[in-house]
Amino acid sequence: MIQPAELPMPGPLQHRVSAALRVTLVLCALAYFANVVFQTYTYQIEHYGHAQVALALLLLVVLIASWRTVSARSISLVAFLVYLAWSFGSATVPVSDFLVNYWEKAAAFSAERSIRNWSYSLSPPTIAYYGVFIAMLGKSTVATYVASALAWAISAGLLVKALTNFGFEPRTASLAGLMYALAPSTVAYSSVVSPEAVFNLFLLAAAYALSLAYRQREHSLAFVAASSVCFAFLFLTRPVGLFFLLGAALFVLYSLGPSAAGKGRRHARLLIALGSPFAVIVLLNAAVNYPALGAFRLNPHGGGAANLLNGTNYATKGTYSQDDMELAGFQGPNPVSWKEASANATRIALSRISSDPVRFFSFALTDKVTSMWGSDTHGLYWSLQASPHLQRMQSSGQYDAMARLTDAFYLLSMLSFVAALAFAVFRKVPAMFLVPWLLPLLVMAALHVFIETQGRYHIPFMPFVYSAAALMIGRLSARLGRSAAP
């Protein structure tokens, strides 16, 4: 399915990186995601029963039948229309963090047109992106519906184009794009004012730029620099973006470096092209933030201690805890300074871990994995939480049916993804496909052993999951086609 032919053969460095990274990353990812699939399967069987497996198999038949070439433009257009239909039909209203941290700040940015209104927010690119649409279309949900739908739709098209450039067979790239664009969870979440919409847009724009660098070697420095700009905005959207930059650095060294003499200078130029725009944008943002924050922060999020405290809460399974926020002094009747609250949070969290490490790591690999990976219904939850249609959908059973379909599709995707990882152990899958995704994925998995988890936190990695899943479903479809041939 992946055909990297006609490209230059890798040199000694590439061979060494390929062997080491393939074995280490694939086996670690396989071990972690085997546990993820087990926890996901257990969770879904408990909630939906064994009929969930039959539904997942039915969806597999549908996807096998969908294994055909569809243009990236067509996928984006269809997705955009589907997203708008869902947004207006569900009547999504911003709530919780999406209201306070994104909708209200984007509206303020669009009204005052001051860079200071977004630069020191939790996610500056999210505020700027939605703020532009609110400025054009007015302060209404229509503006955010269009903005979110456009971000998700464009990112789907970019995924198809990037995979095609990376050597995926067009039918498989199309299937990956369709799975990503029309996954029930993506459709449901497309109406939400979310940093994930902006994050995935920049992520797949970066992937597309790197894929152009991979195909057009004579212009690779320019495309790598373009990806660096995307990675900078990715990092400012959510700190996890930094992990993808590290994966991109390995991709650049492995896939774009020459096999002939002068490779040291070539590698240096590529890394400078990847790192310089990123550094300039991030440092500039930190400088703009300094007067408001009173500190030089590369990323304005600054919630590390609170995330650590929430992530060690057994009662909430590592998710947000209001009681913990009050216990540390971040919120509640007796709040203290942010610095003191952060120190309290760190002390309490480390005490929980050190008091019974075995219990904590067992908890981290079971309950916390389930909290983050066990279900894909976060889109339904956030899009319908304040919807006027929620009560009717729940009483009619429509909500439960949508949740069942969403999780069945997710279970199938995760099973296919793990199958692809297992296949990569025994069959060669180009490291240029594995490295940029598996490295940040495993770093994030290790980080979330300790910090807060939410179901939506796995969204940035779903393009890779769907790509690998499409690879396996495409192989199955091709094999079935050969078996059926006379």
pLDDT score of 69 more than 70 = yes
For 384-436, the pLDDT digits (tens) are 998 999 999 999 999 999 999 999 999 999 999 999 888 877 665 555 566 67
pLDDT score of 484 more than 60 = no
Question: What is the number of other CB atoms lying within 10 angstroms of the CB of residue 446?
Answer: 11
Q: Taking all residues of the chain, what is their mean pLDDT, rounded to a whole number? A: 86
pLDDT score of 282 more than 80 = yes
Q: What residue has token string 């195909």?
A: 215
Q: Are 48 and 376 spatial neighbours (Cβ–Cβ below 8 Å)?
A: no
Angle at 457 between CA 455 and CA 458, to 5 degrees: 85
Q: Is the dihedral of CA 279, 247, 432, 183 positive or negative?
A: negative
In this prediction, residue 65 carries a pLDDT of 86
In this prediction, residue 211 carries a pLDDT of 92
Nearest Cα to Cα of residue 117 among 133, 106, 129, 132: 106
DSSP letter string over 230-291? HHHHHHHH-TTHHHHHHHHHHHIIIIIS-SSTTHHHHHHHHHHHHHHHHHHHHHHHHHHHHH
Lowest-confidence pick of 157-166, 266-275, 299-308: 299-308
Distance of alpha carbon 247 from alpha carbon 257, whole angstroms: 15
For 257-267, the pLDDT digits (tens) are 654 445 667 77
In this prediction, residue 7 carries a pLDDT of 41
Angle at 94 between CA 300 and CA 466, to 5 degrees: 75
Banded model confidence at residue 124, pLDDT cuts 50, 70, 90: confident
Q: Are 90 and 388 spatial neighbours (Cβ–Cβ below 8 Å)?
A: no
pLDDT score of 439 more than 60 = yes
Which tokens is 431 given?
């490291």
Banded model confidence at residue 8, pLDDT cuts 50, 70, 90: very low
Q: Is 168 helix (H, G, I), strand (E, B) or coil?
A: strand
**Percent of all residues in the chain with a pLDDT value above 70, rounded to a whole number:** 86
What average pLDDT does this structure show over 30-54?
Answer: 92
pLDDT score of 486 more than 70 = no
Lowest-confidence pick of 19-23, 93-97, 284-288, 367-371: 19-23
In this prediction, residue 289 carries a pLDDT of 73
Question: What is the number of other CB atoms lying within 10 angstroms of the CB of residue 11?
Answer: 14
What average pLDDT does this structure show over 87-106?
Answer: 88
314 vs 11, residue with greater confidence: 314
In this prediction, residue 265 carries a pLDDT of 77
Please count the CA atoms within 13 angstroms of the CA of 20 that sit on its side-chain side.
9
Q: Are 383 and 16 spatial neighbours (Cβ–Cβ below 8 Å)?
A: no
For 102-118, the pLDDT digits (tens) are 888 888 888 876 655 55
In this prediction, residue 303 carries a pLDDT of 65
For the chain, the 3-state helix, strand and coil shares in percent, each to the nearest 5, are 80, 0, 20
For 10-35, the pLDDT digits (tens) are 455 455 555 666 677 788 888 999 99
Distance of alpha carbon 475 from alpha carbon 481, whole angstroms: 10
216 vs 129, residue with greater confidence: 129
Entry field: residues in the chain = 486
Q: Is the dihedral of CA 17, 440, 358, 371 positive or negative?
A: negative
Q: Is 72 helix (H, G, I), strand (E, B) or coil?
A: helix
For 233-257, the pLDDT digits (tens) are 999 998 889 999 988 988 888 777 6
For 197-218, the pLDDT digits (tens) are 999 999 999 999 999 998 887 7
Distance of alpha carbon 21 from alpha carbon 24, whole angstroms: 5
Distance of alpha carbon 301 from alpha carbon 209, whole angstroms: 27
Which tokens is 44 given?
């879904």
Q: Are 235 and 245 spatial neighbours (Cβ–Cβ below 8 Å)?
A: yes
Distance of alpha carbon 465 from alpha carbon 456, whole angstroms: 14
What average pLDDT does this structure show over 33-52?
Answer: 92
In this prediction, residue 16 carries a pLDDT of 57
Name residues whose C-beta falls within 8 Å of residue 104's C-beta, 6 or more positions apart in sequence. Answer: none
